[in-house]
């Protein structure tokens, strides 16, 4: 059994499963049966931390996960998110109003087929609503027994500290990978000091660090990578040269590039876990294998030197996407 790490009231394996890829943000989505089969394959493989959201597929990801779990709900740590939703017109809306948070939580519980969600995140900071008010609503859900713990996603240290004054924040979920190093601007340290688990999303930089994604600028327009700066025809080939330079390190450890990138994330503290997403069963098992990989300081440093904020080409988000982000950023 792989070493487990603390997450809220539980202990989980370092590598969980992000459930966005089957319904939202990417392309070539699996059928309903295949998506449910993927989640059940994850259960059978011992994955014990599943992360979904109201936003993903307008609730479809939660529905599929609820169907897959069935009577196996107690086998896993279940996380979902509120505060970022799609309207009937297809617009994405940041909504941290207390009443909206409570409505979304009730809907999440129904779709997931459960009485309680282990960890419920505010998906994005709503700049119109004081974080104290949003966290206050989540705290009421804890008191009501509908959620067990509170998380925040894509927030800054300052926002975390304000939230912590209202209720303990069990987890912060921000993007973190070799290519996206923003949490090193204070969040990793603050989470460790606060007893908060840091949950890294996109730890493979949306498949870039797995070395298997080719010509992302030719992906369907609905695929978010088709217009993200790092994946353009101008930037991506150079970024892949950096990824190729990691291969000797992965080969030397007898692991894949994806496992190397995940192990690098996990090496940044026992309070760090990751939730790579995938719609492919082979990649699911490959990612899960990273739990058994331990990198020494020299390997971590070597990877860090090759791929980092200074060597990667292109911002992680467009200006429009970045406008919804509260987390620390490097100077432009």
Catalytic positions: 56
Residue 31 burial class via C-beta count within 10 angstroms: exposed 0-12, middle 13-18, buried 19 and up: exposed
Q: How far apart are CA 208 and CA 143, in angstroms?
A: 41
The residues with which 51 forms a beta bridge, in sequence order, are: 18, 79
What are the distances in angstroms from CA 27 to CA 72, 137, 233, 240? 29, 34, 18, 21
Question: What size, in residues, is the chain?
Answer: 332
Helix, strand, coil percent values for the chain (each to nearest 5): 45, 15, 40
Which two structure tokens, joined as six digits, stand for 116?
């309680």
Q: Using alpha carbons, select from 129, 115, 180 the residue that is nearest to residue 154.
A: 180
Q: How far apart are CA 42 and CA 288, in angstroms?
A: 9
């Amino acid at each position: 059994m792989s070493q487990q790490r603390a997450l809220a009231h539980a202990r989980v394996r370092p590598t969980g499963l992000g459930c966005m890829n089957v319904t939202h943000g990417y392309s070539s989505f699996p059928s309903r049966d295949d998506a449910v089969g993927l989640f059940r394959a994850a259960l059978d493989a011992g994955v014990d931390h599943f992360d979904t959201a109201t936003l993903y597929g307008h609730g479809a990801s939660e529905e599929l996960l609820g169907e897959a779990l069935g009577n196996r709900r107690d086998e896993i740590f279940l996380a979902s998110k509120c505060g970022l939703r799609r309207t009937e017109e297809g617009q994405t809306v940041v909504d941290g109003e207390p009443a909206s948070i409570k409505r979304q939580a009730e809907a999440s519980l129904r779709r997931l087929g459960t009485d309680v969600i282990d960890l419920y995140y505010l998906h994005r900071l709503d700049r119109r609503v004081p974080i104290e008010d949003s966290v206050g609503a989540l705290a009421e859900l804890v008191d009501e027994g509908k959620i067990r713990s509170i998380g925040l996603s894509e927030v800054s240290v300052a926002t975390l500290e304000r939230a912590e004054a209202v209720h303990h924040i069990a987890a912060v979920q921000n993007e973190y990978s070799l290519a996206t190093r923003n949490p090193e601007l204070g969040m990793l340290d603050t989470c460790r000091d606060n007893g908060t688990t840091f949950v890294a999303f996109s730890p493979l930089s949306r498949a870039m660090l797995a070395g298997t994604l080719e010509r992302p600028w030719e992906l369907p327009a609905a695929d978010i990578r088709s217009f993200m700066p790092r994946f353009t025809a101008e930037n991506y080939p150079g970024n892949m040269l950096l990824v190729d330079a990691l291969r000797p390190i992965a080969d030397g450890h007898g692991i894949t590039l994806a496992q190397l990138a995940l192990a690098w994330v996990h090496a940044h503290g026992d309070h760090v876990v990751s939730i790579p997403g995938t719609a492919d069963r082979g990649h699911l098992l490959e990612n899960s294998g990273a739990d058994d990989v331990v990198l020494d300081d020299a390997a971590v440093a070597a990877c860090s030197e090759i791929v980092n904020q200074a060597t990667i080409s292109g911002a992680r988000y467009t200006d429009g996407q970045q406008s919804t982000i509260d987390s620390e950023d490097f100077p432009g």
